[in-house]
A and B are shown apart, each in its own frame.
Chain A
Amino acid sequence: MAVFGLIDGNSFYCAAERAFAPELRGVPLVVLSNNDGCAIARTAEAKAMGIKMGEPWHLAQRRAECKAVEWRSSNYPLYGDMSRRMYEVLAARVPQVEPYSIDEMFLDLTGLPDVERLCHRLRDEVRRIAKIPTCVGIGPTKTIAKLANRIAKDDVALNGVCDLRGEADRTRYYAELSISRVWGIGSKTAATLQNLGIVSIADFIKLAPEQVRDVLTVTGARVQAELRGQSCLPFTLMPPPRQGIAVTRSFGQMANTWGQLREAVAAFATRAAEKLRAEGLEAGHLSVFAHTNPHNGDPWYSASRAAQIEPTSDTLALLSETMRLLHACWRPGHRYFKAGVMLANLTPARQQGQMFATRDTVKSARAMAALDAVNARFGRGMLRPAATGTAMAWKSRQAQHSPRYTTRAEEMLVATAF
């Protein structure tokens, strides 16, 4: 029988910050989204103060009790590297690890002896080496392992590990847990089920599979089978092929003029083209959008344009298409707050020249390789089209960015000699 584990970092971004900043230990801490907008990670102390996931930080800060809360801008170079460390600690100790998201990984524990003790040890070692406190859920399917992980997080008496391989244990939890706690059951689905009188997981698994399929389609039927202990979601060791590449951001400062908006969107298109080339792809469809701030009382204006394009990954070609589409979106008199560039119809880049190409694709590939090489050596954005501007007022606000301790030599941890 298959055995899945799910190991998940507790307040992962906060834990990564605390790993290098002992002054943040034991105090309430939140990490904010891009542009210092909303709380996206909270320590237990911050949760206890009533700070909600996704809560706008400028509103929370007005509350008297939140004055003492420490906050940091998001530091993705650090979080990415700490996630890599967590993965490598695990990969050296179990046969297969699937990095499901930056802070949670599925483990293949099939056929291993003394799984519970192993999971306690994995927790200890991830904590000690990768500096991330975690919880582990164990089950015969991914969905059960995920549920077990949530139980381990909520019940401190379990010491961070919850094993739901045994049917009797599952029956006990299924009777008391709401179906809304299950992975893949959103709030809408839970409401639909509630209308049918189905509240607990126990209620849900008693339903006939055909009935579940009728109400919740094949996806819901799969959730039910997984909860019953039939594994339907196998290990995935390759990320799914990309459907699209999007670079969208809200601005640090609103864009009032065509020049400001153009610079921001040009930078997004440049970044999207870089991502495309890093994966060896070309895009055949391009879309652009821009809108005003829906929350600050400004008149709402939102526009988008899209076009089929000759497949390319050339920054300059994508830039000129982007500017053409953006100009059609632009109306003067608005304060633009957010914009983005999306690339779709992705295909592997061809090495040879194309028969009907209107550009010299070989020359373009050479120019782009040189551009990427310069930026790889001297840092992202060192060499870039002049259209992206020099003021870069659109750049996101990151007022409390911690050092990139593990990826920049000039920002490494400093320890005082004792």
Chain B
Amino acid sequence: MNYNGGNTTGFVSPAGDSLEGRIDLSATLDLSRPSRYPVRVAGDALASRGIVSGDILIADAAFPPAHGKVAVVMMHGTALVGQLAFTKGQWWLASGHAGVQAVPVTGDEAEIWAVITGLVRTEV
């Protein structure tokens, strides 16, 4: 039988009229929005932002890019995730590694693809 806390066989369950569904994380993360894409992180360059390899990021393509936000950027034929910076009239992708130069988000196919709005870690 598919017992849900309400359908008891002997004593009537006092919870019967108060049953609720289970917590649905995809609702919490609002994954049904057309702008939301889950993205898996590879590499630990963003550890200083609390983002480590294997994390699932919630990327939102409708969210406006802003200085300091973490975003997915498509550039030079790769999907990168890094911190955005806006200086000298253009967007840059700043590296999480100290001493690594920021790179400008330029080129025909370069695109700020989506801004990260949340994070899921399934193993801590």
Contact = CB atoms under 8 A, between A and B. Distances in A.
B119 interface: no
Contacts of B109: 22, 25-26
A414 interface: yes
Contact of B45 (A131, A409, A417): A417
B61 A418 contact: no
B113 to A, nearest CB: 8
B38 A412 contact: yes
A180 B56 CA distance: 50
A84 interface: yes
A129 B95 CA distance: 25
B67 to A, nearest CB: 16
Contact of A22 (B38, B39, B78, B82): B78
Contacts of B53: 417
B29 interface: no
Interface of B is mostly: strand
Interface in A28-66: none
Contact of A416 (B43, B61, B62): B43
Residue of A125, A130, A409, A418 ringed by the most chain B CB atoms within 10 A:
A418
B62 A129 contact: yes
B81 A22 contact: no
Given A26-B109, A85-B34, A418 B40 contact: no
Residue of A130, A414, A415, A416 ringed by the most chain B CB atoms within 10 A:
A415
A198 B108 CA distance: 44
B86 interface: no
A413 interface: yes
A398 interface: no
A387 B41 CA distance: 43
Residue of A89, A412, A413, A417 ringed by the most chain B CB atoms within 10 A:
A417
Contacts of A295: none
Interface in A365-418: 405-406, 409, 412-418
B35 A415 contact: no
Interface residues of B, number: 37
Nearest to B75: A22
B78 A26 contact: no
Nearest to A130: B34
A363 interface: no
Contacts of A131: 61
Contact of B51 (A128, A406, A417): A417
B78 A416 contact: yes
A409 B40 CA distance: 9
A417 to B, nearest CB: 4
A169 interface: no
A23 interface: yes
Nearest to A85: B34
Contacts of A26: 108-109
A89 B34 CA distance: 7
A414 B39 contact: yes
Contacts of A413: 37-40, 72, 79
B45 A418 contact: yes
Interface string B70-81: 001111111111
A88 interface: yes
Contacts of B104: none
B77 A416 contact: no
Interface in B31-50: 33-35, 37-46
B34 A416 contact: no
Contact of B34 (A129, A405, A414, A417): A129
Contacts of B79: 20, 22, 413-416
Given A129-B35, A130-B34, A415 B81 contact: yes
Nearest to A405: B37
8 contacts: A22-B74, A22-B77, A22-B109, A413-B37, A414-B39, A416-B42, A416-B43, A418-B45
Per CB-CB distance, the 4 closest pairs between chain A and chain B, nearest first, are A418-B82, A417-B45, A85-B34, A88-B34
Given A415-B40, A415-B72, A416-B78, 20 more contacts: A23-B77, A26-B108, A85-B34, A125-B62, A129-B61, A406-B37, A406-B38, A409-B38, A412-B38, A412-B39, A412-B40, A412-B56, A413-B38, A414-B42, A417-B42, A417-B53, A417-B80, A418-B73, A418-B80, A418-B95
